[in-house]
Chain A
């Protein structure tokens, strides 16, 4: 635990010593705000809630989370620092988790900085703040899911661009896995049971109820097991590929 903390701190401060942090925060806030107001019809709907705000989060995360996660392992491998960090007295899992948590914390920070929109909606009407909290919780969990995929994909290559592209593709599949578009593709060559399993893996279905204020334990279990599985694969990949 102690080592995870040290890794976490180093990673987080490295975000802020490069322009990444500021570029990400500005773009995230600009996009989430403008999408809500212009495309989500925040005013025109005449309802005091943050549904239009949350409804764009899956699509924002699709590109922005891989942009954060692409460097997590690809950069370590490219610059050779992976050899430095993994010959220190820490375990691979401590490094994987420390780096992951730092990136997640950073995304949470971006999410916290969207508070003006919460103030706005409270000023304009009297929204159900419980539902808004649930939406934030769902968004946070979903970003963690995207990030676990991105971190894992980053460990497969030393090229950040490739890491970014594969992450977006895999995240996109997870996002859309409940839709016919994806299911039809799998239907042709997978048994029905497997297709149903893929359908239940969709990010969207597990996020939509939370974003409406419905807190279901199954959604939590879904996201935490998803994160666990991807981080486990991540640890195994780093172990396997660290030399080559």
Chain B
């Protein structure tokens, strides 16, 4: 589904993503882990076609993202870092706008909107301006716009950041529910989240892929709990 080959991204002299190769199949939920500044968001921005790699290749469903960027973007749902949205818009207008530009047919738009409102419990805020929403609601509107077209590929940068424990639980359940026929990448700092929803964990630090296996094997690969394992993997690379 998603194939990343020898991906590099440099800003001036700094290498943010360093020879990253990954292959992610349908049905997989990849948890993308790493310290701040490890290159997680940059990699996601390249996979979604927002920025171009310095070198390397990204193929999605055998389409090269450089050659068929519009076709590829149609397949992807994306929650960017910080869940940016148009603050002056009403939630339902915003979702309608996204649905339209995603090419949903007119008679299916309302069904799609109702589906995501239900999935993310947005009933109370649909007529509110986005800028007045709490962080948790804003994040959920961001997830709603990412799944409104029922994409085959879902990429979310810290989907549960700013949510309370109940909301986190709901979002994780949602991801599990929809994951069977999708390819999902989520980035997170929360290690328990990887255990809870991911079928696979990839750890990167300083742009390099350091670990790629199941969360279970991640836990068993070192001593102590997940936090300790994460520390030993990512700190080891910097020394």
Contact = CB atoms under 8 A, between A and B. Distances in A.
Interface string B120-146: 000000000100000000000000010
Contacts of A89: 70-71, 73-74, 101-103
A6 B97 CA distance: 7
Interface stretch (B46-54, B186-194, B222-230): B46-54
- Which of under 10, 10 to 19, 20 to 34, or 35 or more describes the interface residues of A? 20 to 34
Contact of A79 (B45, B71, B87, B97): B87
Contacts of B102: 88-89
A230 B11 CA distance: 27
Interface string A68-107: 0000000000011101101111110000000000000000
B84 interface: yes
B66 interface: no
Nearest to B157: A83
A3 interface: yes
B60 to A, nearest CB: 13
A17 interface: yes
Interface in B23-59: 45, 48-52
A87 B49 contact: yes
- Which of under 10, 10 to 19, 20 to 34, or 35 or more describes the interface residues of B? 20 to 34
A88 B84 CA distance: 13
A135 B161 CA distance: 55
Given A88-B73, A244-B11, A79 B78 contact: no
Contacts of A6: 97, 100-101
Contacts of A7: 101
Interface string B63-92: 000000011011010101110111111100
B101 A84 contact: no
Interface in A3-17: 3, 6-7, 10, 13-14, 17
Interface of B: 11, 45, 48-52, 70-71, 73-74, 76, 78, 80-82, 84-90, 93, 97-98, 100-103, 129, 145
Interface of A: 3, 6-7, 10, 13-14, 17-18, 79-81, 83-84, 86-91, 242-244
